[in-house]
Amino acid sequence: MTFITPKAKHGDASDGNLGGRLSRLDGPAKITGSATYAAEHQIDGLVYAVTVQSTIAAGVVTSVDASAAEASPGVLLVLTPDNIMPLKSATTWAGTPGPEGPFLALPRIVSFNGQHIAAVVAETLEQATAAAALIRVTYEEKAHVYGLDDPKAGEGVPIDRMTMSRGDAVKALAEAPVRIEQEYRTPREYNVAIEPHGIIARWEADSLTLWEPSQWIDGMARSYAEWFDIPFENVRMISPYIGGGFGSKALSLPHGAVAAIAARMLGKPVKLVVTRPQTFTAYGGRPATRQTLALGATREGKLLSIVQHGVNETSMLGVAVEPLGSVTAIMYAVPNFSSRQNIIPLNTVTPGALRAPGENPSAFGIESAIDELAYEVGIDPLQIRLLNYAEEDPQAKIPWSTRRLREAFAAGAEAFGWSKRSPAPRSMREGKQLIGWGVAAGTYPVRRTPGEALVRILADGTAEVASSSIDMGQGTYTILAQTAAEVLGIPVEQVRVKLGDSALPRAPVAGGSQLANLMTGAVHKAAHAARDELIGLALNHPGSPFLDQQTNTLTIADGVISTPRSEQPAISIADFMRVIGQEKVEALRDTLPEDKKNTQDRYNNFTTMMAMKPPTEGGYSLHSWCAHFVEVRVDEDFGTVRVSRMVSALDSGRLYNPKLAESQWRGGIIMGIGQALLEEGVVDPRYARVINNNLGDYLVATNADIPDLQVISVGVPDHHASVLGGKAVGELPIVGVAPAIANAVFHATGKRIRDLPITLDKLL
């Protein structure tokens, strides 16, 4: 269990309360190494598991020769398809029943290269690793499909819920005076968190304790409970710190099941950390996507129609949809629109969520295409965006709650100096460096799920906040302390926040950029209730100095209770608690609707995504918005692209802590630069295997690739979006970065790159 004790500099009103630029409370623990990550926990009697992954992409395991491994020093157990304990199928994140039949963590049927098919448990990690290398697997191999370009891939399966339309898009396109039609592609991309996926599993009778990095304690705990057919309450999941997730640590995965099975069979705690190469197939990143976009417009650049058809890859095992129409549908005021999407099953691990799933590749398509249209009709890329500005949600036909995109364009353009841009491609240069300026917009919806929190005022006047929500670096510890401090009227350093433990009050997934909004809402509510109770005691308790004060309320500021109109009496919370002999005052509150508080609804709310409200529910369309302005320098001989300057203006509504929000924005922008220029899971078609499965070969941006990033907040509090006025922060900033860079590259070189990443060979 982790207690985070703030160490704020006091005296500056801005450093503590909500809206202040408080540094991350978990920062010192992380910098000094005292923060304990899942795999670092020291557990008595720990033994070590290592998995063996398939070396073919499709087929059946006909036999596993484990004799050498079993005879190897220190080996305690070898798990194979022959002896793997079948588990119950678990409910999906969507709340739908899991696949038919038992769940086999080490299946006999191989559906992708790099699938876990065996595991060795030994006294030491080295023994397990050495023994794992001795396992001999024979397969009956079948033909595989390696990727979207495989002739065997076919057209795929239409996903009806992705079909959208308004007006008559095909007819309007045919009649449009200006038409452009292009195909845009994004490759397979990986979350590559620095902390690899790993777990420690320990059984005590029918109770299972798991130390595992988790973006969703309650959802993952439910999967383990269902797999092993034990009560949800018997699963204790602990995850106080997470070394990056980006969407990849929200669901329980087969390697976790292997560890828990081994722990159960051996009666010993088992640690299993997948190796870096294994992470590339132990979870799925962003699927490869391909979309065709046809834009019809007037000669002045006013959009008349958009026709979109997208596909993304999925696995042979599961349906993963990367919604390619999500930004296309709402970014511009286009009267005629149609979009449909297929998924193509092939031999890969089931793709997962990676920062802004859907919005990210969707924006790459539409924000590249609108740029192409701007050149086609000869107007400024920023102007064409303003010309087609959507004043309301063009798809849902309801008002935006807030849409400060125009302000974002204005602020970004001003700071960037956009007006000095010379319009023609290849018209700006410095020596051998072709200079290009590009712009693109991004958006991310406001997702909403109820949360729960406990706020407890202690006898010493300090307070605790507790929730099973998590902090993977985005700042949950800090902003929840700020929220509680503000409501309770105590200094922020007197608030301790406990997170990342399924024994605490419940929370839904830390995904979809929803957590900050829903948890500040829950903490706000619980803190108010605790404060009200404290004030109630102060007004009514026989021992209270306020008993005869003829007042019906009291104020609390800086940890001192007083009456609103006079200086005296005044008493610190700690003294007051002593006077009345109270140990604590606490309130547990949730933000569930009154008719959804029964046990099953609560359970579903926190352990599935069933209760997540769409951004258009409630009469307003709720979204965050951003505009990215990029300068690139492209070496005309070498084709190397360097981002030399970047300004982004973002509307995330109210920022609970601008320092942390800006840091998230910058992080997303950095990831976007890597996506635009470097990231690609390279698949060998003959083996359907990702061959650059390590951080030396799978390239993410380094510091040297990142210029100074100016971020500007243009948001205003949006109380339709959330209790305290915030909108989505974490996933927004990556959306639109890649097209802004591709647009800048076109401006620099006159070459339009429609498939990411923009590597030098494409520009030679």
Partner 1 sequence: MKNFTYVRAGSAQEARTASALAGSMILAGGTTLLDLAKCGVAEPDTVVDITHLAGLDRIEVDGTGASIGSLARMSAVADHPAMQDAFPAVTQSLALAASAQIRNMATIGGNLLQRTRCPYFRDAAVFPACNKRSPGSGCSALGGVTRNHAVLGTSDACIATYPGDLAVALVAFDAVVHLGSRATPVDDFFLLPGNHPDREHAMDRGEIITSVTIPLSAAARRSVYLKIRDRQSYEFAAASAAVGLELEEDGRTVRDVRIALGGVATKPWRVRAVEAALIGKVLEPELVRQASLLSMQGAADHGANHYKIDLAPRVITRAVLQLGGLA
Is residue 113 a contact residue for partner 1 (CB under 8 A)?
yes
Among 529, 691, 710, 717, binds partner 1 (CB under 8 A): 691
Is residue 130 a contact residue for partner 1 (CB under 8 A)?
yes
Is residue 696 a contact residue for partner 1 (CB under 8 A)?
yes
Residue 71 or 424 with smaller CB distance to partner 1: 71
Among 5, 36, 89, 129, binds partner 1 (CB under 8 A): 129
Burial label, 266 (beta-carbon count in 10 A; 0-12, 13-18, 19+): middle
Looking at 37-45, 211-219, 410-418, 678-686, which segment touches partner 1 (CB under 8 A)?
A: 678-686
CB atoms under 10 Å from CB of 289, counted, come to 27
With residue 665 as reference, give the H or E element that holds it: helix 658-677
What's the token pair of residue 7? Answer: 């160490």
Sequence-ordered list of residues with C-beta below 8 angstroms from that of 523, at least 6 positions apart, any chain? 453, 455, 465, 467, 480, 483, 484, 487
Residue 147 or 521 with smaller CB distance to partner 1: 147
Is residue 702 a contact residue for partner 1 (CB under 8 A)?
yes
Least distance (Å) from partner 1 to the CB of residue 689?
Answer: 6
Among 432, 584, 597, 719, binds partner 1 (CB under 8 A): 432
Residue 61 or 487 with smaller CB distance to partner 1: 61
What's the token pair of residue 568? Answer: 């005296």
Is residue 701 a contact residue for partner 1 (CB under 8 A)?
yes
| Closest among 572, 574, 605 to 591, alpha carbons compared | 605
DSSP annotation of 360: H
Is residue 561 a contact residue for partner 1 (CB under 8 A)?
no
Least distance (Å) from partner 1 to the CB of residue 16?
Answer: 37
3 state SS of 223: helix
Looking at 37-45, 491-499, 568-576, 677-685, which segment touches partner 1 (CB under 8 A)?
A: 677-685
Is residue 705 a contact residue for partner 1 (CB under 8 A)?
yes
DSSP states of 592-605: --GGG-SHHHHHHH
Looking at 374-382, 501-509, 650-658, 694-702, which segment touches partner 1 (CB under 8 A)?
A: 694-702
Among 237, 678, 712, 737, binds partner 1 (CB under 8 A): 678
Among 126, 141, 300, 558, binds partner 1 (CB under 8 A): 126
Is residue 161 a contact residue for partner 1 (CB under 8 A)?
no
- From CA 89, how far away is CA 98, in angstroms rounded? 5
Q: What is the dihedral sign for C-alpha 747, 753, 754, 758?
A: negative
Q: Residue 495 CA to chain centroid, in angstroms?
A: 27
What's the token pair of residue 677? Answer: 């220029």
Residue 113 or 336 with smaller CB distance to partner 1: 113
Is residue 133 a contact residue for partner 1 (CB under 8 A)?
yes
Site for partner 1 in 47-66 (CB under 8 A): 55
| Closest among 279, 288, 287 to 693, alpha carbons compared | 279
Is residue 761 a contact residue for partner 1 (CB under 8 A)?
yes
Is residue 699 a contact residue for partner 1 (CB under 8 A)?
yes
Q: By the 8 A CB rule, do 341 and 309 touch?
A: yes
Residues 513-538: b if buried by 16+ CB within 10 A, e if exposed: bbbbbbbbbbbbbbbebbbeebbebb
Residue 57 or 85 with smaller CB distance to partner 1: 57
- From CA 357, how far away is CA 359, in angstroms rounded? 6
- From CA 602, how far away is CA 590, in angstroms rounded? 10
In the set 407, 486, 493, 731, the catalytic residue is: 731
| Closest among 282, 213, 202 to 236, alpha carbons compared | 202
3 state SS of 301: coil
CA angle 121, 124, 129 (to 5 degrees): 65
Q: By the 8 A CB rule, do 254 and 315 touch?
A: no
Least distance (Å) from partner 1 to the CB of residue 637?
Answer: 4
With residue 444 as reference, give the H or E element that holds it: strand 433-445
- The residue with tokens 């009806």 is 160
- From CA 298, how far away is CA 289, in angstroms rounded? 29
Looking at 88-96, 98-106, 128-136, 142-150, which segment touches partner 1 (CB under 8 A)?
A: 128-136
- Annotated catalytic, 731? yes
Among 28, 302, 687, 752, binds partner 1 (CB under 8 A): 687
Residue 55 or 182 with smaller CB distance to partner 1: 55
Least distance (Å) from partner 1 to the CB of residue 144?
Answer: 13
Residue 557 or 764 with smaller CB distance to partner 1: 764
Least distance (Å) from partner 1 to the CB of residue 8?
Answer: 33
What is the contact mask toward partner 1 in residues 252 to 291, using x (rule: CB under 8 A)? -----------------------x-x--------------
| Closest among 572, 552, 548, 550 to 562, alpha carbons compared | 572
Looking at 350-358, 484-492, 601-609, 754-762, which segment touches partner 1 (CB under 8 A)?
A: 754-762
Is residue 549 a contact residue for partner 1 (CB under 8 A)?
no
Is residue 71 a contact residue for partner 1 (CB under 8 A)?
no
Is residue 633 a contact residue for partner 1 (CB under 8 A)?
no
- From CA 595, how far away is CA 612, in angstroms rounded? 15
CB atoms under 10 Å from CB of 390, counted, come to 16
State the catalytic residues.
Answer: 731
Which residues sit at the interface with partner 1, rule CB under 8 A?
Answer: 55, 113, 126, 129-130, 133, 275, 277, 431-432, 637-640, 642, 677-678, 682-684, 686-687, 689, 691-692, 696-697, 699, 701-705, 757, 759-761, 764
